Every structure is written in C-alpha cells, then in structure tokens.
C-alpha cells in the first residue's frame, strides 16, 4: 500500500489516549498542591473524584477534599457541599441540616448561588423552620447584585400567602425586572400576574406576550399555558392547531399538564385528527404522574366506554385514584357509583362520604346530591332542613335539578314552610334551563 493510501484512522493519533494522559497529569498536579493545603487545588481535586475525570469516580473522596477546602473558608467548596448534601446530584446521602450550614457559610462570603439556595431552603422549610424574613434578606442581597434567580424568587416570595410581608406590587416589580433580562421563569410568572391582576391591572394581551416569551425558551409550564391561551382565545385569536402544537411541546418535556391537554386534543380531535388511542396513551402518561384530571378523564372514558371498550373496573380504578387525590368531580362521580352500585358495590354510606367530600371542595353537582342524601336519608339520617340548605347552594349556582327539588320542597312543605308561590318560582327557573320533570330515585 502506498503511503498516500493510509486511512485517517491509521494516520491520526489516538486522541482518547492523549486525553487520558493529560487528565492524569492534571490530576497528579492538583493532588500535589492539594496535599500542600492549597484550597483551589483541593477543590479541583474534589471535582476529579466527583466526576470520575481521569480517575475512577469516588464521591466520598470528593467529599473529603471539599471538606478540606471548605474548612479553609473556600466559598466555592462550601457551596458545592451545600449542593451535594441536598441529594440532588445523587452522589452523597441527603443531609438538609448540613446543606443549610454550608450554604449559610458560603452566603456570608457573598456567594450568590449559595444566598439564593439558602433563601429557597428557608422559604420551603428544608432542614429548618420556614423563615421568610431571613430568606428575603439573602434574596435581596443577591438580587441587588443583579442575580436573576434571586430577583425571580423575590417576586415569588412577595406573593406567597405565608409571607407576612406579602406585597403584590413588589412581587410584580421583581418579576418584571428578571423577565426583562430574559429569565424564563420570571416571564412565565409575569404572564400569570397580568392574567390574574397581581400587582398590575389584568391584561390578556400582556399575559399572552410574556407567556409566549417564556415558552419560546422551552419553559414547559409556559408552553402548556400558551396552548391553553390559543385554545381559549385568551389574549390571542383562537387557534386550535397552535394550541395542539404547544401542548405537544410541553408534553414531550414530560409535563403532566401538557400530556393531559395533548391527550384531550387527540381524543376530541382538537387541532389534529382524532386519534382515541393516542389520546388515551397521553392521558395514561399524565395519570401515571398523579395528574388527577387525567385520572378522572380516563376513569370516565373506561366507565362509560367512550371510544374504547367499556371496562367499569378500570374506570372505577382511575376515578377512585382521582377522588383520593382530591379531585372534586371524581369524588362526585364516585359517590354516584357507590349509590347506584355502578362498577362498584352499592354503599350508601360511601356515597354520602364522597358527596360530602366533593361538596366541601365546591362541586355544584355534589351540593345537589348531598341535598338528596339529607332529604332521603341516604348514608345519613334524614334532615330536610339540611337538604334545603344544600339545594339552595346548588340552585344559586345554576343547577336545574336543585331548582326543581327546591320547588317540590316548597310545594310539599318539606324542610320549609309550604309556599306555592316560591315553589312556582323555582319550577319556572328549572324550566327555563330545560328541566320540566325530575324522576325521584
């Protein structure tokens, strides 16, 4: 073979081999200075062991050298220890107290990351009682130096209901400061401020604009919210195809909200061709992440056989899971299933229990069903007066069945004094909503 015919592989040096030599040289050099007590060398040596660069990965050896450097006041080493003890890197056992201690030492030396990390731990109560005053102090120190994460967390802290210094105006101002510097989380939260009137007048167009800026940076919650805006026409013209596109982007990042809405789009053919099986698959993804709305939707799909073979056992499983997760509509449906024995053993006491749970969460249909329980003595003692109270709550919220029942109660003097004029009024309201007769089960 002529020299010009040599392959590139034969002519080129083994880059990997030379990298190993270089890493090993750097490692030995760092180790020499680390043993002499040089903090920066100890920090670098720790990284070699933590990452397994040039040597076998050894988190305990990495911890040893970080502790050496941190004990000499090296703030970067102190910050690293704070991070490692949170357990987020899965390198060292989680120790929130130690994490807090090292973050506090580094924060005192002006390490902005440590200041923000310490503040968020204090707000969440990680390894300590919640302490908003100290947290706000550290956030202000970092935020005043231009730290965008600190500005974002300040905005969040100022609207936290547990913060005695809660201030929606300051919340808006700090979020806006970070958002204008392109912080995606702040842009998303600023959109929420404009949507809900937090520290600023409600403005759908501005809510859409800031949410879109965050979504364009692949911020998953913003992608899902943007899809919802396009779906509902909030701050922008309705565009189902765009809604579908943004739901898909957030779903591909594993966001349960996006997975749920993408499933709904496929199931109902919104912004895309209808594909029931794709819809069910995405709903399953969201349900597996404990997203109660997806669990409820899957439950109703299987319970009633909507687009899939009916499977009441599967339906009850998902509905019960959503109910246990506090989803009011699921609690109300589960109450109905218990009352009628639909897919589950008939149990009036359980029916009453779930209706009461749903009603306590504000479910209008549960108001009505709870009224029925008290009027008929389903799972509880008869109490006509209590029945009237729940019928009135449901009727006031526009429930036609409750209006009709109120009419019957006034007509027959059940739980109230007989009043035919009041009865006629409620019958008429129910009729206006299309209900002229109601079977008394």
Residue 11: its pLDDT value, please? 42
Kindly state the percentage of the chain with pLDDT values over 70.
94
Q: What is the dihedral of CA 196, 199, 202, 203, to 10 degrees?
A: -110
| 112-122 pLDDT per residue, tens | 999 999 999 99
- What span, in angstroms and rounded, lies between the C-alpha atoms of 107 and 119? 10
Residue 2: its pLDDT value, please? 36
Q: pLDDT band at 210, cuts 50/70/90?
A: very high
Mean pLDDT is lowest, of 12-21, 272-281, 387-396, for: 12-21
- What span, in angstroms and rounded, lies between the C-alpha atoms of 111 and 140? 13
Mean pLDDT is lowest, of 16-20, 371-375, 430-434, for: 16-20
Q: Within 10 A of 117 (CB to CB), how many other CB atoms are there?
A: 26
pTM of this structure? 0.86
Q: pLDDT band at 339, cuts 50/70/90?
A: very high
pLDDT over 80 (residue 98): yes
Q: Which residues contact 402 (CB under 8 A, 6 or more apart)?
A: 367, 368, 371, 390, 391, 392, 393, 394, 395
Q: 402: closest CA among 413, 414, 390?
A: 390
Residue 27: its pLDDT value, please? 85
Q: 35: closest CA among 63, 65, 67?
A: 65
| 119-132 pLDDT per residue, tens | 999 999 998 999 99
Can you tell me the mean pLDDT for 228-250?
98
Q: What is the DSSP string of 188-243?
A: HHHHHHHHHTSSS---HHHHHHHHHHHHTTT-HHHHHHHHHHHHHTSSS---HHHH
pLDDT over 80 (residue 143): yes
Can you tell me the mean pLDDT for 155-175?
95
Taking CB atoms within 8 Å and a gap of at least 24, the contacts of 390-396 are: 390/359, 391/367, 393/367, 394/364, 394/365, 394/367, 394/368, 395/426, 395/429
Q: Check residues 254 and 438 and name the one with the higher pLDDT.
A: 254
Tokens of 142: 């970092």
pLDDT over 50 (residue 403): yes
| 240-261 pLDDT per residue, tens | 999 999 999 999 999 999 999 9
Residue 111: its pLDDT value, please? 97
What does residue 57 show for φ and ψ, rounded to 5 degrees?
-65, 130
| Angle, in degrees to the nearest 10, between helices 348-360 and 328-340 | 160
- What span, in angstroms and rounded, lies between the C-alpha atoms of 397 and 367? 10
- What span, in angstroms and rounded, lies between the C-alpha atoms of 174 and 156? 9
Mean pLDDT of the chain: 93
Q: Within 10 A of 207 (CB to CB), how many other CB atoms are there?
A: 24
pLDDT over 90 (residue 53): no
| 55-80 pLDDT per residue, tens | 889 999 999 999 999 999 999 999 99
What does residue 137 show for φ and ψ, rounded to 5 degrees?
-60, -45
Tokens of 312: 């009441």
| 25-40 pLDDT per residue, tens | 788 889 999 999 999 9
| 350-363 pLDDT per residue, tens | 999 999 999 999 99
- What span, in angstroms and rounded, lies between the C-alpha atoms of 322 and 334? 10
Can you tell me the mean pLDDT for 264-286?
97
- What span, in angstroms and rounded, lies between the C-alpha atoms of 51 and 58? 8
Kindly state the percentage of the chain with pLDDT values over 90.
89
- State in Å, rounded, how far the first CA of the chain is from the last one: 95
């Amino acid at each position: 073979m002529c020299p010009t015919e040599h392959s590139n592989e034969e002519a080129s040096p083994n880059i990997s081999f030379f990298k190993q030599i270089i890493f090993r040289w750097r490692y030995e050099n760092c180790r020499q200075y680390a043993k002499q007590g040089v903090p920066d060398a100890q920090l670098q040596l720790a990284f070699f062991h933590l990452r397994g660069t040039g040597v076998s990965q050894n988190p305990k050896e990495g911890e040893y050298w970080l502790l050496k450097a941190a004990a000499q006041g090296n703030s970067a080493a102190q910050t690293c220890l704070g991070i490692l003890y949170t357990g987020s890197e899965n390198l060292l056992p989680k120790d929130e107290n130690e994490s807090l201690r090292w973050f506090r030492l580094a924060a005192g030396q002006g390490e902005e990351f440590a200041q923000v990390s310490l503040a968020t731990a204090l707000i969440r109560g990680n390894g300590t009682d919640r302490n908003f005053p100290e947290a706000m102090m550290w956030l202000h120190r970092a935020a005043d130096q231009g730290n965008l994460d600190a500005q974002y967390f300040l905005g969040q802290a100022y609207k936290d209901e547990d913060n005695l210094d809660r201030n929606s105006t300051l919340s808006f101002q700090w979020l806006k400061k970070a958002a204008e510097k392109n912080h995606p989380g702040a842009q998303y939260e600023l959109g929420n401020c404009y949507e809900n009137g937090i520290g600023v007048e409600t403005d759908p167009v501005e809510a859409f604009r800031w949410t879109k800026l965050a979504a364009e940076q692949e911020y998953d919650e913003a992608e899902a919210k943007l899809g919802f805006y396009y779906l509902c026409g909030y701050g922008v013209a309705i565009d189902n195809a765009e809604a579908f596109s943004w739901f898909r982007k957030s779903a591909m990042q594993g966001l349960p909200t996006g997975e749920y809405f993408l499933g709904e789009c496929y199931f109902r053919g919104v912004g895309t061709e209808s594909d029931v099986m794709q819809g069910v698959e995405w709903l399953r993804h969201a349900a597996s992440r404990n997203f109660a709305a997806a669990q409820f939707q899957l439950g109703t799909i299987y319970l009633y056989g909507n687009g899939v073979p009916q499977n009441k056992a599967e339906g009850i499983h998902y509905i019960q899971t959503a109910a246990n997760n506090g989803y009011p509509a699921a609690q109300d449906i589960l109450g109905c299933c218990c009352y009628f024995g639909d897919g589950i053993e008939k149990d009036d006491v359980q029916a009453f229990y779930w209706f009461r749970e749903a009603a306590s969460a504000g479910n209008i249909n549960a108001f009505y069903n709870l009224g029925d329980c008290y009027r008929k003595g389903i799972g509880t003692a008869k109490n006509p007066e209590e029945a009237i109270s729940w019928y009135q709550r449901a009727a006031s919220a526009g429930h036609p069945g409750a209006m009709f029942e109120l009419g019957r109660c006034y007509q027959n003097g059940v739980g109230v004094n007989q009043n035919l004029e009041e009865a006629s009024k409620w019958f008429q309201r129910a009729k206006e909503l299309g209900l002229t007769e109601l079977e008394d089960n």
